[in-house]
Structure 1
Amino acid sequence: MDWKLAVVVVPVTDVDRAKLFYEEQAGFTVDHDSRVRDGVRVVQLTPPGSSCSIVVGTGLTEAPAGSLKGLQLVVPDIDRAHAELVARGVEVSPVQHFEDGDRVDGRGGAWNSFVFFSDPDGNGWAVQEAPGGAGAR
């Protein structure tokens, strides 16, 4: 039996601001924006090419806004991903890699080139280059 991660709830303070950030700046597709009942709103967004989505909304989680760290996207070309995020107005780190546990500017070896950004609430994202596009869909 396959077990597939389908949705990750991202805690935010302002649903409309988060929706705008993920759609217009991060480039995610809005799958739906639904009000399930009073106090419950679900906005599902999916990164291009991904089979896993995120959900922002109200009445979904007790986690504090901005508390989610370590969300990770995988791309075939880290330089292109960096350029796209910058062009969309995202405050993104330079391309970096890890050396002896520290983040260092510049590309690294296979699976070791990243850029980092946060959403308006401080939820933290890493974008990692997959060698030869492996793992990127």
Structure 2
Amino acid sequence: MHWTLEVVVVPVADIDRAKAFYADQLGFVVDHDTTVSPGNRFVQLTPPGSGCSIVIGEGVVPPMPPGSVQGLQLVVPDLVRAHAELVERGVEVGDIRSVGRDPEAVQRGGTALDNVGFVFFSDPDGNGWAVQQISARA
């Protein structure tokens, strides 16, 4: 049996501001923006190529303080390119870092960043994201 993670709830204070950040700055696809009733709205967004979406909203998601989700992670095949895209889109993203066993990976770039290359950023509410490079899977 396959078990797939399909949706992660991300708590935000302002749905429209968060939707604009995820759709316009990160390039996530807006799958749904549904108002069920007054005070019950959910927006589902999916990173390009991902099988898992995020949901932001009010009234239809578990109550969590905005910005309380940390450690969300995206994976890309080319971290240098992804970092450049984030900067170009106006995302406040940190420098490329090599985490773990290969401190010189950043200078070498390319596949030297596989598994050890990361950048970090937060959404407007402080929910924390990482982007990791994995160019090939075993």
Asked whether the two chains share a fold, i.e. TM above 0.5, the reply is yes
Which residue does 1:93 correspond to in 2? 94
2:23 corresponds to which residue? Answer: 23
Q: What letter corresponds to residue 133 of structure 1 in structure 2?
A: A
**Shift in Å, 1:97:** 1.6
Asked if the contact 1:77/1:133 (under 8 Å) is kept, the reply is no
* Contact kept in structure 2, 1:29 and 1:46, CA below 8 Å: yes
Aligned ranges for residues 35-54 of structure 1 at < 5 Å?
Answer: 35-54=35-54
Question: Is 1:122 the equivalent of 2:122?
Answer: no
**What value does the CA root-mean-square deviation take over the aligned residues?**
2.0
Equivalent AA in structure 2 for residue 28 of structure 1: F
Structure 2: distance between partners of 1:11 and 1:81: 24
Shift of 1:22: 0.2
Change (3 A) 1:57 1:105: farther
1:71–1:104 CA distance, 2 compared to 1 (3 A):
farther
Conservation of the 8 A alpha-carbon contact between 1:113 and 1:129 = yes
Question: Could you say if the C-alpha distance between residues 134 and 92 of structure 1 is closer, same or farther in structure 2, counting changes exceeding 3 Å?
Answer: same
Gaps of 5+ in 1: none
Q: Please state how far the C-alpha of 1:109 moved relative to its aligned partner.
A: 4.8
Is the 1:75–1:133 Cα contact (8 Å) retained in structure 2?
Answer: no
So what's the TM-score if we normalise by structure 2?
0.88
- Give 2:75's aligned amino acid: V
Which consecutive unaligned segments of at least 5 residues does structure 2 have? Answer: none
Paired with 1:52 and 1:32, the residues of 2 have a C-alpha distance of 14
Shift of 1:105: 9.3
Percent identity for Structure 1 against Structure 2 = 59
**Pairs aligned (count):** 132
Q: Which residue of 1 aligns with 2:136?
A: 133
Q: Distance in 2 between matches of 1:34 and 1:11?
A: 16
2:116 to 97, 112, 130: 112
- For 1:15 and 1:85, the matched residues in 2 are separated by 21
- TM-score, normalised on structure 1? 0.89
* 1:57-114 deviation line (CA, Å, top 9, x unaligned): 11112110000000000000000000000000000001002248xx999366530000
